[in-house]
A and B are shown apart, each in its own frame.
Chain A
Amino acid sequence: MKISRRNLLQYAANASALAATGAIPGALTRAFAEEPRRIIPWKNWSGGQSCTPAIRTAPASETELADIVGRSATPIRAVGAGHSFSPLVPTEGTLLSLDRLSGIVSHDTATHRATFRAGTRLGAMAAALAERDLALDNMPDIDKQTIAGAIATATHGTGIELGSLSTFVTDLKLMTASGELVACGETTNSALFDAARVSLGALGIVTEVTMQARPLYKLKRRTWIAPVEEMLERAPELWTAHRNFEFYYVPYSGLAIGITNDETDEAETPEPVNEDDDGLMQLKQLQDWLGWSPSARRWVIQTIMGGMDPEERVDYSHKTLSAERNVRFNEMEYHLPREAGPQALREIIAAIENGNMEVFFPIEFRTTAPDDIWLSPFYRRDSCSIAVHRFHEADYGPYFSAIEPIFRKHDGRPHWGKLNTLAAADFAALYPKWNDFLEIRTELDPEGRFLNPYLRSVFGVGA
Chain B
Amino acid sequence: MLAALALTALTGCGGDEKSAAPVVLNAHEATLYRHSCSTCHEDPATGAPQTHDTEIWAPRIAKGDEQLLASIVDGFNGMPPLGQCIECTAEEFILLTHFMAAPASGETDE
A contact set with B: CB distance below 8 Å = 1-3, 7-8, 11, 30, 35-38, 40-45, 47, 50, 56-58, 79, 81-82, 95-97, 99-100, 102, 121, 123, 144, 274, 277, 324, 326-328
Contacts and interface: CB of A to CB of B under 8 A. Distances in A.
A120 B89 CA distance: 22
B81 A3 contact: no
Interface in B76-97: 77-78, 80-82, 84-87, 89-91, 93
Interface string B51-94: 00000000000000010011001110110111011110111010
3 A-B pairs closest in CB distance: A326-B78, A43-B81, A97-B86
B39 interface: yes
A42 B80 contact: no
Interface string B24-40: 00000001000110010
A89 B89 CA distance: 19
Nearest to A2: B66
A286 B5 CA distance: 48
A45 B80 contact: yes
B11 interface: no
A50 B46 CA distance: 24
Given A1-B66, A1-B73, A274-B45, A36 B6 contact: yes
Contacts of B66: 1-2
A35 B91 CA distance: 12
A37 B90 contact: yes
A35 B87 CA distance: 16
Nearest to B65: A1
Given A1-B70, A42-B81, A99 B75 contact: no
A3 B6 contact: yes
Q: Which of B9, B82, B85, B93 has the most CB of A within 10 A?
A: B82
B86 A37 contact: no
Given A1-B66, A43-B73, A327-B78, A37 B35 contact: no
A63 B5 CA distance: 33
A45 B66 CA distance: 21
A44 B74 CA distance: 9
Contact of B89 (A3, A37, A324, A326): A37
